[in-house]
């Protein structure tokens, strides 16, 4: 089970935005049992109206909702300058939407039906990202642990992304399709917990310098 300091749980608020009351109830029961504080919302507009984004934590958002979709909510949060890390809940057919969400800054996406260990790991990573920002304050052990989750190909792609190459340029450089490059980028963002090319480059540079 994911080990998160109790003081971090007490100082964070997890938001669950989903139009399905059964999902909201299940998440609330699960997270409260694990010691997290949680507040649920039935839709994006309710979240935007009632939530206090200055309270640290993260938001768990369903991709497909009537009215304002999860992606539309994410874009509105970006427009408003919300720095709250986002985890998306997706169906099996939503991989393209998930990739788009990651490119917009989502920390992770978790497929339904939700597995407890998977969502708890995602929450811990999201809250950690929100607390530490784009990775500049991580210790060497944290950086090494995150980079070690990358496959050799993902690390190769990460270096190219860090150098400022687009997905198309990455594909041309190493002989893969643009779609495959997008998939690698999404995996890198999810595993490292950062999305900006400069932050990805800093991860790799810090690891090389501290191990050198």
CATH number reported for the structural domain that contains residue 159 in this entry: 1.10.10.10
Do 77 and 61 sit in the same domain of this protein? Answer: yes
* 189 and 118 within one domain: no
Q: What are phi and psi of 127, to 5 degrees?
A: -65, -40
pTM over 0.85? The answer is no
Q: Are residues 147 and 117 in the same domain?
A: no
- CA atoms of 57 and 129, how far apart (whole Å): 9
Looking at 116, 132, 148, which one is the last position of a domain?
Answer: 132
Residue 100 resides in a domain: yes
Helices and strands, number each (H, E), in the chain: 11, 5
- Pick left, alpha or beta for residue 68 (phi over 0 → left; psi -120 to 50 → alpha; otherwise beta): beta
126 and 151 housed in the same domain: no
Shared domain for 158 and 107, answered yes or no, is: no
Identify the pLDDT of residue 209: 54
> Please, are residues 207 and 144 in contact by the beta-carbon 8 Å criterion?
yes
pLDDT band at 1 (very low <50, low <70, confident <90, very high): very low
Residues 51-60: what's their mean pLDDT?
Answer: 89
Neighbours of 197 (CB within 10 A): 17
39, 15 Cβ separation under 8 angstroms: yes
Domain-embedded: residue 1: no
* Segments forming the whole domain that contains residue 42: 6-132
Span 169-194, average pLDDT:
90
């Amino acid at each position: 089970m994911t080990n998160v300091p109790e003081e971090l749980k007490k100082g964070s608020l997890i938001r669950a935005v989903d139009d399905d009351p059964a999902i909201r109830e299940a998440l609330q029961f699960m997270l409260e049992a694990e010691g997290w504080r949680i507040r649920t919302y039935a839709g994006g507009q309710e979240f935007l109206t009632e939530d206090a984004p200055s309270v640290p934590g993260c938001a768990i958002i369903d991709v497909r909702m009537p009215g304002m979709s999860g992606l539309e909510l994410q874009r509105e949060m970006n427009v408003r300058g919300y720095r709250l890390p986002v985890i998306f809940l997706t169906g099996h057919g939503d991989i393209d939407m998930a990739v788009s969400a990651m490119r917009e800054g989502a920390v992770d996406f978790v497929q339904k039906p939700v597995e407890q260990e998977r969502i708890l790991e995602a929450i811990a990573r999201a809250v950690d990202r929100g607390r530490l920002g784009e990775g500049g304050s991580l210790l060497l052990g944290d950086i090494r642990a995150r980079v070690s989750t990358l496959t050799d190909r993902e690390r190769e792609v990460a270096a190219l992304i860090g150098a400022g190459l687009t997905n198309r340029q990455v594909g041309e450089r190493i002989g893969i399709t643009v779609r495959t490059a997008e998939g690698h980028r999404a995996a890198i963002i999810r595993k490292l917990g950062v999305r900006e090319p400069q932050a990805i480059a800093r991860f790799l540079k810090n690891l090389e310098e501290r191990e050198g």
